[in-house]
Structure 1
Amino acid sequence: MFGLLEHIRTRLLRRRRRERVSLAALFRQFQQVLELNNRILTAIASMHDKLGGDYIFDVQYLRSSKQFIVDTVRELIDAFDAMAPGRYPGLYTAFRDIRHKLESELERRPVLPDVMAIPFADIRLRDMDAAGAKSTRLVMLAKASAGAVPPGFAVTTSAYRLFMELNDIEDEIVRLEDGWRNGGMTVQEASGKIRSRILAGSIPPRVRRAMGRELENLRRGAGEGGLRLAVRSSAWGEDGDLSFAGQYDSFLNVRPEDLHDAYRKVLASTYSPAAMEYRREYDFKPDEVFMAVSVQAMVEARTSGVVYSLSPVRRGVSGIEIAAAWGLGSPVVSGEVEVDRFLVGREPEHALLRRTVAHKPTALRPGPEGSVVTEDVDEPLRDAPSLSPEEVRLLADTAIRLEQYFKKPQDMEFAFDPSGALIVLQSRPLRIEAGDDPHSPALSEVLKEYPVLLSGEGDVAQQGVASGPVFVAWEGRDLEEFPVGAVLVAHLSSPQYAAVLPKASGVITDIGSPLGHMATIAREYRVPALLNASRATLVLKEGDVVTLDAEQKTVYQGLVRELRMHDFMSDRMEETYEYRLLRRMLKLIEPLYLVDPEENNFTPQGCRTMHDIARFIHEKAVEILTEIPTTAGASEACPGGRLELPVPMDLVVLDIGGGLTEECAGSEDGTPSRRRTVRPEQVRSKTLRAFIDGVTLEGVWQSHPVAVDFSSFMSSMTRTFSADSAGVKRMGQNLAVVSDRYLHLSLKLGYHFTLIDCYESEDDSRNSVQFRFAGGVTGAVRRSRRARFLSEVLKGFDFSVTVKDDLVVARAKGWMARDLNRLMRILGLLVAYTRQLDVSMVSDAVIFEHCQEFEHIAEEAVGN
């Protein structure tokens, strides 16, 4: 009998040891997850830096970088799966899909979405490879309210590839291009044969159906005059860092029944002699040649032309160049006709610096049967300016807004319709070659004239120069107010600002890390970003115009035009095959689509990039730590005991490694010592000690009874709590699971529940705190008022906060949590202060009163 009992005792002890190891192992796995996540973010930032033009690299570098990212993300998923075995199998599926796409890019088989046509309304920045840069840029500027564009749709690059495959043209193109490159035939001969094959090809049924569906949608929006189309090229590389200006064909005033012919002609222009020579000049490989086609409702143009937001020809003159003529703009951009010329100042008043009015006897206009015809201009208009002073200023203002939006000088094509409405037809980067100007003073001398507001502070997330009015994103401000071209100034570096980054000229934050998620988004949009600048929100005032030189970590008062011009002219990127391939690979690695954990897409199935996978795992790993088991067996398996406190909290502390002094750690053979009382001085964890300091601050903990009305009490009694908000498994015990760097607190005080998770890293940028609070003894209104109080207080201490009814979820990560001891002391104060606070929340005015009182208490306890 004794032997049986001893056997049972031994097995139970082994079981308890296993449970103890599993808790410690869980924390070690969490540490590994954080380390791997940091490694991935560092690698992504390093790959992006190679796009700056300061590095020379080859395809082998891309292969090795891809392999490092793939191996590290796989290791991250495995480490996370050890924390939550089998819980998220979809991560492996998402990982394999992204890995396959990266390998396809390196094998010169670009990844394209399986869609044949996309309406402009549905095009996003991520669709550039499918819709082409020209269509995508038009849609982007329209959605940013930087200009009006005609309605339309894009016939995708996947449709082009399907056309080539089904008509068996690809091998013929390779053979003919090889013959031309090897000198066996002229470019005209190779071009002619390729284009003949394309023009004779049949459009695949899938493409026909997609075009027909989108064409019908355009027809429904057409006016009484019926629908005519502008069918334009939108090829890979076109209107991007290279312009391909004039290399491909466009067709105007196309009848809907002639769309298929126009589509084939645009595809055929992919292999015009000029385009083939242009691609050879910039080392475009056969796997980079893809043509999307933009189909738009035709604009009836009274006046058309082109605008350069920065004069490329007048050295020493900071002006906007405008050329315009009556009718359609094709003759203007091709240089076939005399045009009116306007030079306009770049300053907001856009003063007219020079005007030349040409004699314009003819204009290109839509023909009655399709296509276009040249017509005589009425005599009084031949020598009249084609643009009014108001229209000139509107064009100048639009060009500057587009420049601010796209972060580069722009070459914009436009039209004014008969009603005087401005339509943007195209906007591409304007290439300006740097040149020595003997009349301009040295930049360093010029900069001395501008007051410096910030200097030498912060971390550079994206280099570049930005200028514009300051937009201070104070807590709760409506980001819909953000104007194009403003400089975003915020206290925290948060992914919540992702929506405004495409419109921002620059970003400056008090707190943030160049390895954080918002930094990655800033690099994706190439927005100059200076993070962790400490005093930005104190020094930079709403509406003031400033200039940020991110590389030099300097912010100047006012618009430093010379610095902006210098940045424009020095922003030259090597346009090689390796750079283009790296950009395509980064589209599968760098963008962050999973921004908000509360959104429906925050799932393994929503992961579209390697960064998404890392973001998902990081968020869920923290959540898993809040699910540490607190069964009797687990608590007996860990050393620790009931914490001796001067307030009635009844807190049990479990040590999973280094959280308590050695005398609390157990016997020499590793078995736990008999449960004991733990004194505060036996706590080694700095964060738990900070929490204890806050929660036991004299005079904050309310122990006296409070009056509760019967209806509120019954409301709380009949309320059902979710496991997420209240922690059902932990309702019966106040628990602290602690190590030398980790703290988990699960508290039930009265009728509300609090969860706190805190992780301290050797690298401050990886610190994190999470706080959850829900419940109360009163009715829903008073509980929600306490939640609002918590929200206001926590926001003031660098937490990002979400509130739903009486549930409060607050997070501080990275540099926002670098002073963990201070934050944990604040949370201790909050736990004590809010213990019965809902009872006193009799009106909204009381929220503000308690915020002021708590701010005073916190200031005395922990300082500003």
Structure 2
Amino acid sequence: MGGFFHTLGTLFRRQDAPAQDGGVPDAETERLRALYRERCSRFRLLLSANKSALEIMADMEEALRGVRPFGMTYVRGACTRACASVFQIVRHLNALSDDRWPELETKFDEIRAGIEAVVAPHVRADGGPLVLPIAETGVDMADQTGGKMANLGEIRRRLGITVPDGFVVTATGYQCFMEAGGLQEEIDRRVQAADATRLDEVFALSASIQQLILSAPVPDELADAITAQVERPAGPPPHDAPTAPHPGTGACTGAEVRFAVRSSAVGEDSLDASFAGQYRSELNVPPEDVLDTFKDIVASKYGVTAMTYRLARGIPDEDVPMCVGCLVMVDAVAGGVAYSRNPLNLRDNTVVINAVPGLPKAVVDGSFSPDVFVVSREVPMAVAQRQIAAKPQRFVRDPIEGVRLEDMPSDMVDAPCIDDARALEIAALAAGFEVFYGEPQDIEWAVCPEGELTILQSRPLREARHDELPEGECAPVGGADGADAAGGDVVAAAESGPLPGGYGCADSGPPVLLLGGTPVSPGAGAGLAHVVRKDMDLLSFPDGGVLVIERALPRWAPLLSRASAVVAEAGGAAGHLASVAREYGVPALFGLPRAAELLEHAGIVTVDADNRRVHPGRIEDILGHAPRRNLMEGSPVHTALSEAARLVLPLNLLDPESPQFAPAHCRTLHDITRFCHEKSVEVLFGVSDHMGATGPGTQRLGKQLRVNGTKLQYWLLDIDGGFRKPVPGPVVDLADIASAPMLALWDGMTAVPWAGPPATDARGFLSVMMESTVNPDLEPTAATTLANRNFLMISRDYCNLQARFGYHFCTVEAMAADNPHENYVTFQFKGGAASADRRTLRARFVGEVLEARGFRADVKDDALFASLEGLPKERILTLVRGVGYLLIHTRQIDMVAHNERVFGPIRDRIAADLARIAPVAG
């Protein structure tokens, strides 16, 4: 390295000497100049890789702190991109420095191996049966059968309670199917190629994967195992079960045996992630269709609702093997869902039962509003409340269609579908299940024509967020359809009288659009009312909107991660959509007739689920200021990103003058990035903290900027025609600069004298002092080594600025040539003197200013990345002039970004100055 710079130094000291007088021959001059240009090119590539690495790191930080969902594809992709960028940085530094730091690659490999170990796909152990009879399952086998079927087996074996007979295709059977013919490999490829955060891409991805699964053959060994179970006769109850009648294939089935084929994915029905309604179930399936229906259920793993749910909850695809339960179909005369506790408040000592006539499908998919029985758990149990809904139809078995809707007899429409005795029987069973499992339960049940009560499912009951409910109060649950309002009309003029659960209608307050219904998820939310009737309506749903639907169907669940509240005309607290709304913490009010019609053009509304009202406009007093829950936090995907981020994001190398600033002390990719950037400037410009800029070809700009009493100095490196003429000596005059973009940048920096730091308030001052205290890399004045590191690499049409202004670090790069297709401006900025939230506000402000001038600006926390390209030379130079102005005049405004009284005039002055010194046509 020393020999190269010695020769290059000779070149720059003697570049004007004629060859016959002992100067460097012309051929050697050109060779060395070409070599130096190649080094400068390496430096630019390093800066580009450095920019990419910092953007990726900023995005990872935002993902960890924000509420946007992401999957393992994002985690692995972000880690891979970060490693690739940092590897490029290391490679370019080694090329620049003739491998001065060979240990960098070893340290990089060590950190990369740690990251890969964290994000590597989970490999499941092979082995185990392809199928298992329900009678042989239990909770100890949940990782092979899924929780739903494991619980049914446990109930049958340990409690002797009647459950349908049947079997489950295990996780091993699922793997057998998915690995045949490379099916899983192709699915993984398609998932990785799609942007799962875009709903339109998710729809296309879902359709392609489901078709792939439905077209795949079932391997012979799995098909034979399933067929054998379908054809087997019912066996006797297990020898260790308590005495109880065995359901057999004839119980609740009618003359012909048919099956309910249901998902039982591993992790489904857990306390943390219910997956309520996210997968498909097929009812009344004939034996000859079971194999095809098995594929239907597996394909539903990649339905839009399921994929968006896993994304929102941070659950990797590979952690959800789709086990499939095949149960003898129950011919129910009534059915529904029982909660062993009130799902809106588990402290409430009641059992809540939702019931409909016919199959319980109408309760769980939110098709109709059910009857609701609230049973006191006091001894003896007693029915405390009833809400009997109008039930004009019911789902029944059909030999051709599987299930169908049929009209209810007129005398049964308004009649309760179960009596109090049945409600008490169900309540006693629910309370017993809670004791058995040691936690509240959500139970699906059915009543056979012979009167026998059959359990179809039991899973942990998740409590809704109750931090917004008053202590000791509980919103009512159930499926009231709004008929308790006057005449069934739920407009503001209606008066409903006192409501159950301690709520009533206020005589005064903000205007009311809708009144009544049933709060199925507590709290309040506001946003633009958006009516969704078909799948295409999902694509236009606005972030933070209020979801308005006619029926509370599970198919609308993909919108819950973006919705501020939900309003439905029909549905109850036991429906799948209500369960997911509670899980997501989204306020929901169901059972409001004509809601879609009345809210179609309502604009922004506030939904107060607790008090059963929908108000026009945004009402802050109702909303409160509780932050939106981060559904990702604590999930497997979030945990994987957190663990990987520990090897990517922390910055430990803070002081370049410290002996610890060395490859051996790099513990993260950020450390390597910082080290390489610092050393690349030192290598190329010949700069050190003690010597200043002394490298060959590096000259100091004679013109200086004085900011806040401190002189800012700039060193120049001319890589190709940046000077008007050869300039001997260490100092170059501004008049000798030929680089058009550098001159434009300088014009912007000097066009308006800096007025000094804004007068900050006490909070702003304390914010700066706190940040300076906790960050040893920041100094309280600009007269430090940080302020002196301002470097310009220039050519006639090109400029690259590496600058430190006290607390701030920025990079500006511009090309302004005659060909517009070559031209661009990029601006990278990070840092600030104040707290993180104030620095973020500053970055957003600068980003908004640049976007108004045509830039694409991406703000991640306090980091800004902005770019623009493809414009004529003069337009580029005008934009560069504006960037130069912003570099100086947005300094330290982060200290007052929270104070509109101070910040408003600054914002107006910046806009006026830019319009004057760097006008851009609109």
After TM superposition, the score normalised by the length of structure 1 is: 0.41
Which is richer in helix? 1
Larger radius of gyration: 2
